[in-house]
Amino acid sequence: MTAFTNFEDDDIVQGNVAKNVTSTLFSGGVSTLTSFFTSSIQKAATPGKYYIDVYDKLTTDVTAEVQFQIAYGHYAGSGSAAEAGQTAGLHPTRAVYSQFRNLLIENPTPSTKFAMADGTKCDRMVFITLNRARYKEQIDVGNWEIILSSSVANFDDHHVHIIDDSTVSTGTSENGHKVYNIVSGSGTTLSTNADTNSVEYWGKIYPELGILALNGDRVASASINSGGSAGSNQSQNLHLLGTAADSTNASDGIPHLVYCAINSGSYFAGRADEDVSSTHYFVRAKNSKYNFTSNDTFTTGSAGQLLHTTMIGDPQVFISTVGLYNESNELVAVAKLSKPLLKNFEREATIRVKLDY
C-alpha cells in the first residue's frame, strides 16, 4: 500500500553550503580533451569566418556536443570583410570585439581597448567561450590548462602551455565578475620568458562567465624558448595565427587558425566548480507504520489476503527505497538504501536522506 507521512519542521535540516565542489568540465564525464572537431557546414557559412563551435566528437555522431566556441575580434574591424547590408565601418570582427568589451569591461567606450596585466593594449582578441552547460557555476581556476601548438616547422618545442595565475593571485573584479590573468605555465607552475625572465601575460580568464580572453597579438607572434640547453635564450615566434597583421577588408579565418593551434596541441584540461547546498530529511518510520507493501507477491485473491499465514499479525517487510513527494503527492526525488532495512510492528527506523542541489 502507499502511505504518506508529512515532515515536521524539525525533520528538515538545511545543511551548510559546500564550497568548491568540482566536477569534470567536458561532456561524458571527461576532464581532458585531446581531440577536437568542427562542423564543415558552419565553417562554410558566413558566421564560420568569425566564430566556430568546437565539438568533442565528429558532428556525424549524434552524441557530439559543443564544448566551447572560438571567436575573433578586432578593435577596428580588420581581419574581416564587409558583409552585405551592414553599417559602414562595422565589420564583423569589430562587432565581436565590441560585444565582449561591453560584457567584460567596466564602463566601456567605443575607444576602450582590452588591457593586459603588463599594460599592453590589445587591438585584437581571441575569445574562447565554454558551453554554458559545461562549466556549471564557474571554471575551476588553477585547474585548467591548454596547449597551443605552433605552425612553424623544424622546431620540436614550438608550443605553449597556458594556465591562470590563481596560485599567486587572489584575482580582481571587473564589471562585477572575477578575473584572473592567463599566463604561460603548466599545472600550478608559472613560466617566465627566457629572454626577459618575466611572466608572460596571455590574456584574462573570467571563470564565472566561462570566457578566456586572449591577447591576439601574443597568440599570433609570441616568443618562447625554442629548445636547446637549459636556460637557453634562443627564441622563435609561434606564428599560431600564421600572420602578423590583419587584412583590411578580407576574412583571415582567424578562428579556424586558433582551432588548428588547439587541435595541434591536443590538450585542453579543466574542471567545473560549483557551490552545492544540502538539505537533510529525517524520514521516521514509526513502529505502527510501513509494515505492509503493495508488492503483488505479498497478497493473494481479489480480497487482498496475505499470501503467507506467518505474516498475519506479524508482517515482516523490508524498506529499500524512500520517495520524497511534493504537496500534490507527486514524486520529486528517490533515495535508495544501501541494503534493505527490516521493518515490523516492533521496529522503528529513522532514515536520513541528503538532497544536494
Residues 272-322 have pLDDT tens digits of 988 777 788 889 888 888 877 766 667 776 666 766 666 677 788 888 888
Confidence label for 90 from pLDDT (cuts 50, 70 and 90): confident
For residue 155, pLDDT over 50 is answered with no
What's the number of domains the chain is made of?
Answer: 2
Cα–Cα distance measured from residue 24 to residue 86, given in angstroms and rounded to the nearest whole number: 41
Residue 48: inside a domain = yes
pLDDT given for residue 204 in this prediction: 97
In order of 2, 6, 59, 197, the CA distances from 281 in angstroms are 19, 11, 44, 57
Do 313 and 256 lie in a common domain?
A: no
Do 87 and 232 lie in a common domain?
A: yes
Domain C-terminal end among 216, 244, 273:
273
Neighbours of 338 (CB within 10 A): 6
Residue 66: inside a domain = yes
Do 197 and 327 lie in a common domain?
A: no
Residue 242: inside a domain = yes
**Across 15-43, average pLDDT:** 86
Do 228 and 348 lie in a common domain?
A: no
**Across 330-341, average pLDDT:** 89
In order of 39, 127, 180, 247, the CA distances from 47 in angstroms are 12, 15, 29, 17
Do 93 and 115 lie in a common domain?
A: yes
pLDDT given for residue 182 in this prediction: 96
Residue 47: inside a domain = yes
Residue 159's domain spans which residues? 20-273
Residue 1: inside a domain = no
Do 297 and 153 lie in a common domain?
A: no
Do 304 and 267 lie in a common domain?
A: no
Domain C-terminal end among 273, 291, 310:
273
Burial label for 188, CB within 10 Å (0-12, 13-18, 19+), is middle
Q: Which residues pair with 22 in a beta bridge?
A: 273
In order of 58, 62, 185, the CA distances from 66 in angstroms are 11, 12, 26
pLDDT given for residue 3 in this prediction: 65
Enter the pTM of the model.
0.73
**Across 81-101, average pLDDT:** 81
Average pLDDT, the chain: 83
Instruction: Tell me the residue type at 4.
Output: F
